[in-house]
A and B are shown apart, each in its own frame.
Chain A
Amino acid sequence: MGHFRRSSEPVRNQSTYSRMKKNRIRKLFIGLLIYLPLQYAVVGIVGYYDAEPWPAFVFPGFKSVYVYDDGFEITRTIFDVETLHRQRSHDMPPQELFPDIPLSQIPGFVRTHFSDEETVHNISEEGKAWLKSKAEEIAGFTPNAMHIIELTEYYRQTDEGAKLDMALESGRITILF
């Protein structure tokens, strides 16, 4: 078997490049120095009007600050399923209803598909059947309706640690099965 080796001398690349190759690489760098800021601007514009484009060379901004007065305001969504006349009900966070979706994608998934009435009401029969089967799996009964409830929670720091000040229902969309 031959040896898988090369000289251990560090390579001084400059001397080994042909001028043409070096020019191409230089142009690549110049192109990227122009392209990267431009694509960032495009990502911002498209993201504002539609959604974040992909693929794009960006890292997450974590722009939000969640601050209100001297505490923190956080929004959560819960899925509440019930039988007729609410004989049985079960509420769950989205990560419980959609365990196959990575936690890092759950807020985006919920925002995209369940945050406005028009989108929810346009869910097809197939989509509703899928949601119903998912809810049935978790809740252990066959639901007649699913309420997507948006809660705004207000936390305050006290001497005993962080405390939930209040939670307000800030939105509710219902899907009937």
Chain B
Amino acid sequence: MSLKQRFDGWIFNSYRVTAEGLALLRIFTALFILLFLIPGSGMAHFGFLSSLPLDFYSPPPGPLRLLDGFPSLEIFQIIHTILIVSLFAMLAGYHTKWASILTGISLLILQGFIYSVGKVNHEIVIPLVPVIMAFSNWGVAYSVDFWRKKRTSAPESWPLSLLALFIAAMMFTAGFPKILGGWLDPATQATQGHLFNQFFIRERQALLAGWAVGFNQVIFWEILDWLTILFEIGFIIALLKAGWFRMFVGLAVVFHFSTMLVLNIAFLPNFLAYAVFLNWDKLFRTFKTAYSRFSRISGPKSGDRSVFLFTGVMLILFLPLAWISRREFVLTQSDLMLHEFVLVTAAFTFVVFAAVKKASVLLSGKSG
């Protein structure tokens, strides 16, 4: 096989997608962003930004330096409205490609202004996912676009390879500075140092943080330093095979879960990107089978209704969680939000189940 054929195989055949699976992913992505990942978590924060004196407008090097200060609240309201409308259009699959791209652009603009107080947060995966997935034609099924009999294209799998490339490259940028910073030096326990910083300075003291601050096993903390770097740099190698990449995504979930328990940092935006690599077609078939079994309706109708059922289940799970989380009456010892804790824990539980299932299949195969 020539290099070109291998390269093509990696781009076009690493991941398999179906119209139905992509439809479920589109619905999940739209709801996840709408309820948990809107920049600023509402208009109040933009009201604050637009009221800041010019002294505190410090945009990072980039396009926002072309402006002299924060825009007025009205401008923020317009961009915010565009974001919400485009997210609903994406959810319904109405002009899906453009709605997804517009979602990404408006997310990017709002994030940029939030970061213009002097600190960039690394959440670019939130706009990246809808923009990249727009080209997968994820509005090809179970969408207004299909209903209107608009000409639609076939679903494409290469955007998943593209997203994998972005994730791997970004993970590398997280791991490489740690090597330069001295994380591999046995005399430094960098993870433990960050724990102290988060615990005492940022007062992130929920979950296992209190226990971890008192846990002084040098070897344990040093192993964590090394594992963190191996895992972050290893993503580049994992990029070569879809199976390896999915395994690293699973490891990432375990990593973020442990980081959440100890440092109270959830990295929820990353989970939006990780979710793209789930087997959404299998999930669609599971919902369809379950619906057909209970309703005794099969055929095309069962497909439509199982997608509505999936949307309903997502709403039933996400809406109360988002509502309770905003009340902030739990996890008061930290800025960690309840929805972050629940969603990351759910992802971790799923990964553990999947790993156990995979291991039992492998073991039974060997013994058989």
Contacts and interface: CB of A to CB of B under 8 A. Distances in A.
A52 B120 CA distance: 7
Given A1-B147, A28-B162, A54 B183 contact: no
A26 B7 contact: yes
Contacts, number: 254
Given A109-B118, A124-B53, A124-B54, A57 B154 contact: no
Contact of B18 (A11, A26, A60): A11
A2 interface: yes
Given A59-B170, A127-B56, A32 B12 contact: no
Contact of A11 (B7, B53, B143, B154): B154
A17 B158 CA distance: 11
Interface string B2-35: 0000011001110011111001000000000000
B58 A54 contact: no
Given A5-B304, A105-B119, A59 B174 contact: yes
B300 interface: yes
Contacts of B81: none
Interface string A1-29: 11111111111111011000010011011
Contacts of B141: 4-6
Given A2-B147, A6-B141, A22-B8, A62 B178 contact: yes
Nearest to B141: A6
A126 interface: yes
Given A26-B7, A32-B165, A76-B201, A51 B181 contact: no
A95 to B, nearest CB: 7
A92 interface: no
Interface in A57-84: 57-67, 72, 74-76
A59 B173 contact: yes
Given A50-B61, A113-B55, A155 B200 contact: yes
A81 to B, nearest CB: 18
Which residue, of A1, A54, A66, A103, has the highest number of chain B Cβ atoms within 10 A?
A54
B147 A126 contact: no
Interface string B214-242: 10100000000000000000000000000
Nearest to A104: B121
Interface residues of A, number: 76
Which residue, of A12, A61, A93, has the highest number of chain B Cβ atoms within 10 A?
A61
B157 interface: yes
A112 B162 contact: no
Contacts of B124: 55-57
B157 A109 contact: no
B216 A55 contact: no
Interface residues of B, number: 94
A123 interface: yes
Contact of A3 (B112, B214, B304): B304
B328 to A, nearest CB: 12
Contacts of B147: 1-2, 4
Contacts of A101: 117
Interface stretch (B71-79, B186-194, B347-355): B186-194
Interface of A: 1-14, 16-17, 22, 25-26, 28-29, 32-33, 36-37, 40, 43, 46, 50-67, 72, 74-76, 93, 95, 100-109, 111-113, 122-124, 126-127, 130, 153, 155, 157, 161-162
Interface of B: 7-8, 11-13, 16-20, 23, 44-45, 48, 52-56, 58-62, 64, 93, 108, 112, 114-115, 117-122, 124, 128, 140-143, 146-147, 149, 154-158, 161-162, 165-166, 169-174, 176-178, 180-183, 185, 187-190, 192-194, 196-197, 200-204, 213-214, 216, 281, 284-285, 300-301, 303-304, 307, 335
Given A36-B165, A93-B203, 8 more contacts: A5-B146, A8-B18, A40-B173, A53-B60, A58-B122, A72-B197, A75-B201, A100-B45
25 contacts: A3-B301, A4-B93, A6-B146, A10-B281, A13-B158, A25-B11, A32-B166, A56-B124, A57-B169, A58-B122, A58-B174, A61-B177, A62-B178, A63-B177, A64-B190, A72-B192, A72-B197, A100-B45, A108-B117, A108-B120, A109-B119, A111-B118, A112-B58, A130-B52, A157-B216
